[in-house]
Amino acid sequence: LTVHSLSGCPRATSAMKKAKLSGEQMLTIKQRASNGIENDEEIKQLDEEIKELNESNSQMEADMIKLRTQITTMESNLKTIEEENKVIEQQNESLLHELANLSQSLIHSLANIQLPHM
């Protein structure tokens, strides 16, 4: 509204009468405005959902990095343990071989001993 329309100026009043919209036109404008507001709300809701999904994805990526690090560490530890076990197995084989040699030597030594008859 302008000063002229409020004062009853004939030109402004005439322009306002020409600018009047039909009920159907007003309803269409209201529906468009309402749809725009609804779409705006939907956009805000979608933006919020996108933000939440991005945060969730970031958290999942961080968790995946932690898991990969843990898996790499576990694989490294497993490899170290396997290498240590291999060394222990070799030591066991060596000790068993030495024990077998000592047993044979003991048996051979005992075989040569003459026991007195009682």
Amino acid in position 54 = N
Q: Which residues of 26-39 are buried (b: 16+ CB within 10 A; e: fewer)?
A: eeeeeeeeeeeeee
pLDDT at 5: 47
pLDDT of residue 115: 77
How far, in Å, CA of 51 to CA of 88, rounded?
55
Residue 113: the pLDDT is: 83
pLDDT averaged per 10 residues, the chain (length 118): 53 57 70 70 87 94 98 98 98 98 94 79
pTM of the model: 0.51
Domain ranges for the chain: 23-109
